[in-house]
């Protein structure tokens, strides 16, 4: 791993830089939700997400190269009693930093966070064509539970998504 890379929890002051990183990621990959130029610059909305991570025990963990945000993992705990035992995960890593151990570090942090909060189910979705991410998730204990058929529309084609989950035995 690049020795310049630093990991830390998100801070309220990161909102603008985080949006800029996410927007850049939209141009680098077809595997995130937004197409290039489509991400709304709603810093107020993103600021609420960051506040939720800082104030409400959701996870938002960053990787930085010097002061530039190059990746993140977020996990949002279920909002009601029936799903407070689960969390939905989103991961984004800038292309030139992939396969550099960042994903491994993110999932170590995720596991530690989940155990501290007694989260027993972690879940995410990933495009079926995203073999690199699917491999990372499987390597970290996630299993495919189902397929969301024609879930995304990318480059004029409907693409299926895997629904993946990991059960943590406390």
Query: Where along the chain do its domains lie?
Result: 5-167
How confident is the model over 130-161, as pLDDT tens digits? 999 999 999 999 999 999 999 999 999 999 99
- First-to-last alpha carbon distance for the chain, in angstroms, is 30
pTM to 2 decimal places: 0.91
Q: What is the pLDDT of residue 1?
A: 63
Q: What gap in Å lies between CA 88 and CA 5, rounded to an integer?
A: 25
Using 50, 70 and 90 to split pLDDT, how confident is the model at 55? low
Fold of 5-167: Aminopeptidase (3.40.630)
By the 8 A CB rule, do 122 and 165 touch? yes
């Amino acid at each position: 791993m690049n020795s310049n890379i630093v990991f830390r929890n998100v801070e309220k002051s990161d909102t603008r830089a985080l949006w800029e990183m996410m927007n850049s990621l939209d141009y680098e990959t077809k595997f995130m939700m937004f197409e290039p130029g489509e991400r709304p610059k709603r810093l107020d909305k993103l600021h609420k997400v960051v506040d939720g991570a800082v104030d409400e025990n959701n996870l938002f963990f960053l990787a930085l190269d010097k002061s530039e945000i190059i990746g993140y993992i977020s996990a949002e705990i279920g909002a009601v009693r029936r799903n407070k035992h689960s969390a939905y995960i989103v991961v984004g890593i800038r292309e030139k930093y992939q396969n550099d151990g960042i994903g491994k570090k993110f999932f170590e942090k995720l596991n530690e966070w989940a155990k501290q909060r007694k989260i027993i189910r972690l879940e995410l979705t990933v495009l079926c064509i995203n073999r690199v991410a699917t491999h990372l998730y499987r390597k970290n204990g996630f299993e495919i539970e189902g397929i969301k058929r024609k879930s995304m529309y990318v480059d004029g084609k409907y693409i299926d998504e895997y629904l993946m989950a990991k059960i943590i035995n406390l």
